[in-house]
Copies of this chain bind each other. A is one copy, B any other.
Amino acid sequence: MNVEFVNPFVVSTINVMKTMAKTDAKPGNPFLKSDKSAKGDVTGIIGLRGVQAKGSLAITFTEPAILRIYSQMLGENAEEISDDLVDCVGEITNMICGGAKAILSEKGYKFEMAIPSMISGKNHTVSHKTNGKIVCVPFDTSDGSFFLEVCFEE
């Protein structure tokens, strides 16, 4: 996988978290997802399709992290994972992917986005069916962690 594909997603995640949720999301060291797997409680997934490559983006939140992010975005307290919160994860996924798409487009990589799907359920794991590499970037916030996963096949 072209490493140029990953950074725009990291930049876009930091931007979306800062501008939409007043949240400092600090990226940790990216790792290739082979044996390590990230578990979370709510996930947004979106497919990408371009001429040069096809891919998938998943962003998996632990419950404490997303409750706080949702509260910051909506200005109302969230104490559990509600339908509105899950919908908000779909919106975040759209925004992160849209931001990355714009950066990639400037580099000459054009992608079209599919529709975000969201998963909720305690402690689930996401994986991808690809012959390409899967890069996972952990993020820390003041209230917990989330994980960004990007994979592309050329």
CB neighbours (8 Å) of A39 from chain B are 121
A14 within 8 A of B: no
Collect the chain B residues with CB atoms within 8 Å of residue A103's CB. none
Within the oligomer, what is the number of copies of this chain?
2
A60 nearest CB across to chain B (Å): 9
List 15 A-B pairs, Cβ < 8 Å. A45-B45, A45-B47, A47-B47, A47-B48, A47-B113, A58-B117, A87-B129, A93-B129, A115-B129, A117-B129, A119-B124, A119-B127, A120-B125, A120-B127, A121-B123
Interface of A with B (CB < 8 Å)? 39, 43-49, 54-56, 58, 83, 86-87, 90-91, 93-94, 112-130, 132, 151-153
